[in-house]
C-alpha cells in the first residue's frame, strides 16, 4: 500500500453517485423486470470506467468503483449469501414513502430527537429522483433472516466487479485502487437469526463467507476496505432498546466483531487491507455516538495497515486529540476523514489542509492519507460530492507544500 512519502495522498471511503441510466437498469433488475442482463453488465463496466477516470481527474490518488453494483454498502451482502431469506417489503411502501427505520433499527439519537427525525427525514439524505430514490427505498424495505448455515454464493458477482475496477484503473493510469466490502460486525446486527444457537458461531460463519470476497479482491491486486459502521452504531442501537446498557457489555460484542474480521483476514497481508469506521455521517444530531476513545483500542486490533476514521464533522472533529496519547502502531497508516457529508457546504481547501496538518503533526506525515468521513451516495448531492473531492485534493496539495518545505 502506498504511503505519503513525498506528498499527502488522497482517497475516499467508497460509495459515489451512479449515472441515472445505470440506476434505471439496477432498479429494473431489483424488480425482476430487466429484459437483458448483458445490458446491465455492459453499463456497469462503462460506468465504472467513467467514475474511475473522474476521480483521477479530480486528483484522487486511490480510487474505487463507486460501489455501483451494490444495493447499499451493507445490504448487498445478503444478496450474495446462502442461508439467508430476504422478504421484500417494498410493495407495502406507498409512492413517496419510506419505511420508518426508527422502528426497524432504532437508535437513542432517533428517540431523543424524534420530532426532528420525523420532520426532517426527507432532508437528511440526498436522493436522486426517479430510479435512485426508489432503489434506496427498495434496498431499505427488506426483512432479512438467517434460516440455515451462512455460506458465500456471490463468486460471479465479485469476479465481475473486480474485473471492472481493474480494467478501469489500468485505462486511467491509476496506480492503486480499493474495493469496499462489509465487515462481519456490520452484517450480524441487522439480520434476524432463526438458525444459530450462539452469536459466536453466527459470527464465525459470516466471517468465513465474507472471506471469499476479501481474498478475491486482494488476490486480484486490489486493496480491500472493510466497512464497519455498525461497530460504532450498535452502541446507539442498544441504548435505544435498553437505557441501562453498559459499555462493558457493548465492548464484549464489539470484541467478537473484531475477532470475526481478523478470522476473515487470516493469511491476507495487512498492507493490502484498509478498515473503515464511522458513525453513519447522516445529517442528524449524533448526540449519543460512542466516543472514539472508548473503542480505539479495539479498532487497532484489526489486522489492517490503514484505519479510515470519521474525523471532519462537528461531533467528531475534536477527536484528533485521541491520538495525542494513543500511539498508532509502527507501520500503520491513519486515513482521517477531512471532508464531511452531513453538510452541503464545500470545505475550503485551507480548512482541509488544517485538518490534515493536525494529524500529520501528531502521527508523522508519511503515516497519514487524506480521506472522507463516509461514502457520498445519499449523503451529498452529486454536484456537491464532486466539489468536495476536488477540495480534498486541493487541501492535500496545500498541506503537502507546508509539510515538504
- Model pLDDT, residue 202: 97
- Sign of the torsion formed by the C-alpha atoms of 134, 137, 141 and 146: positive
pLDDT in the model for residue 149: 97
Q: List the domains of the chain with CATH numbers.
A: 9-69+154-188+197-403 (3.20.20.210)
pLDDT at 230: 87
Q: How far apart are CA 164 and CA 380, in angstroms?
A: 25
Per-residue model confidence (pLDDT) at position 379 = 85
Residue by residue, DSSP assigns 131-195 as HHHHHHHHHHSEEEEEEEEEEE--HHHHHHHHHHHHHHHHHHT-SEEEEEEE-GGGTGGGSEESS
Q: Are 48 and 66 in contact (CB under 8 A)?
A: yes
Question: Do the strands 62-63 and 223-227 form a parallel or antiparallel pair, or are they unpaired?
Answer: unpaired
Per-residue confidence (pLDDT) for residue 75, from 0 to 100: 86
**pLDDT, mean of each 10-residue run, the chain (405 residues):** 97 95 91 91 98 98 97 89 87 52 72 88 69 76 91 97 98 97 94 95 98 98 95 92 95 97 98 96 91 97 98 96 97 98 94 98 98 92 95 98 95
Q: What is the predicted pLDDT for the residue at 93?
A: 53
Name 76's Cβ contacts closer than 8 Å, sequence gap at least 6.
Answer: 69, 70, 182
CA 378 distance to own-chain centroid = 12
Distance of CA 346 to the CA centre of its chain: 21
Rounded distance, CA 284 to CA 176, Å?
Answer: 34
Amino acid at each position: 500500500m502506498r504511503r505519503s512519502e513525498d506528498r499527502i495522498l488522497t482517497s475516499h471511503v467508497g460509495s459515489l453517485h451512479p449515472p441515472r441510466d445505470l440506476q434505471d437498469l439496477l432498479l429494473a433488475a431489483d424488480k425482476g423486470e430487466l429484459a437483458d442482463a448483458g445490458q446491465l453488465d455492459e453499463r456497469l463496466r462503462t460506468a465504472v470506467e467513467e467514475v474511475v477516470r473522474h476521480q483521477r481527474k479530480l486528483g484522487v490518488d486511490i480510487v474505487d468503483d463507486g460501489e455501483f453494483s451494490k444495493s447499499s454498502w451493507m445490504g448487498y451482502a445478503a444478496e450474495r449469501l446462502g442461508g439467508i431469506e430476504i422478504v421484500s417489503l417494498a410493495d407495502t411502501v406507498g409512492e413517496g414513502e419510506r419505511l420508518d427505520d426508527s422502528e426497524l433499527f432504532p437508535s437513542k439519537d432517533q428517540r431523543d430527537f424524534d420530532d426532528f427525525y420525523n420532520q426532517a427525514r426527507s432532508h437528511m439524505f440526498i436522493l436522486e429522483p426517479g430510479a435512485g430514490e426508489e432503489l434506496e427505498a427498495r434496498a431499505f424495505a427488506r426483512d432479512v433472516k438467517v434460516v440455515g448455515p451462512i455460506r458465500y454464493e456471490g463468486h460471479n458477482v465479485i469476479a465481475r466487479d473486480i474485473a471492472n475496477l481493474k480494467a478501469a484503473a489500468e485505462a486511467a493510469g491509476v496506480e492503486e485502487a480499493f474495493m469496499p466490502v462489509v465487515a462481519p460486525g456490520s452484517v450480524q446486527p441487522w439480520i434476524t437469526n432463526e438458525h444459530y444457537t450462539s452469536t459466536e458461531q453466527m459470527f464465525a460463519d459470516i466471517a468465513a463467507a465474507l472471506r471469499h470476497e476479501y481474498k478475491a479482491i486482494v488476490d486480484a491486486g486490489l486493496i480491500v476496505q472493510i466497512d464497519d459502521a455498525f461497530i460504532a452504531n450498535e452502541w446507539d442501537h442498544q441504548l435505544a432498546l435498553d437505557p441501562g446498557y453498559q459499555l462493558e457489555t457493548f465492548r464484549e460484542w464489539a470484541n467478537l466483531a473484531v475477532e470475526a474480521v481478523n478470522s476473515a483476514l487470516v493469511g491476507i497481508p495487512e498492507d493490502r487491507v484498509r478498515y473503515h469506521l464511522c458513525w453513519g455521517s447522516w445529517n442528524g444530531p449524533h448526540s449519543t455516538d460512542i466516543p472514539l476513545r472508548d473503542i480505539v483500542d479495539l479498532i487497532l486490533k484489526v489486522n489492517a495497515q490503514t484505519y479510515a476514521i470519521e474525523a471532519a464533522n462537528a461531533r467528531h472533529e475534536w477527536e484528533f486529540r485521541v491520538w495525542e496519547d494513543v500511539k498508532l502502531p509502527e507501520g500503520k497508516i491513519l486515513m482521517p476523514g477531512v471532508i464531511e457529508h452531513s453538510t452541503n457546504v464545500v470545505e475550503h481547501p485551507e480548512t482541509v489542509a488544517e485538518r490534515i496538518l493536525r494529524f500529520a503533526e501528531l502521527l508523522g506525515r508519511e503515516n497519514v492519507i487524506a480521506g472522507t468521513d463516509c461514502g457520498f451516495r445519499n449523503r451529498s448531492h452529486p454536484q456537491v460530492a464532486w466539489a468536495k473531492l476536488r477540495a480534498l485534493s486541493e487541501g492535500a496539495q496545500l498541506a503537502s507544500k507546508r509539510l515538504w518545505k
